[in-house]
Amino acid sequence: MKLCPKMSWQIWWDVRLAELTEIKNILENWTVSNNWEFKFKSAFISYWNKSTFKFKTFLFWLL
């Protein structure tokens, strides 16, 4: 079932907003320090977000 472009865009935007909010909450829960663990987690979140973003963008264009 194809959604109208406006509806698809709204869903896409809601997903983006939810992801950003979730990442912000995760980062706020960590204590920011110069240790390797925090740097590793930050890099992992950054990589994970980019890869899922590409995947979800691909799914979005299939609608």
Burial degree of 15 (CB within 10 A; 0-12, 13-18, 19+):
middle
Question: Is the overall model pTM greater than 0.85, yes or no?
Answer: no
User: HSE on the CB side for 20, CA within 13 Å?
Assistant: 6
Q: Each residue of 2-61: pLDDT tens digit?
A: 555 666 777 777 777 777 777 777 776 665 555 666 666 666 666 666 666 555 555 555
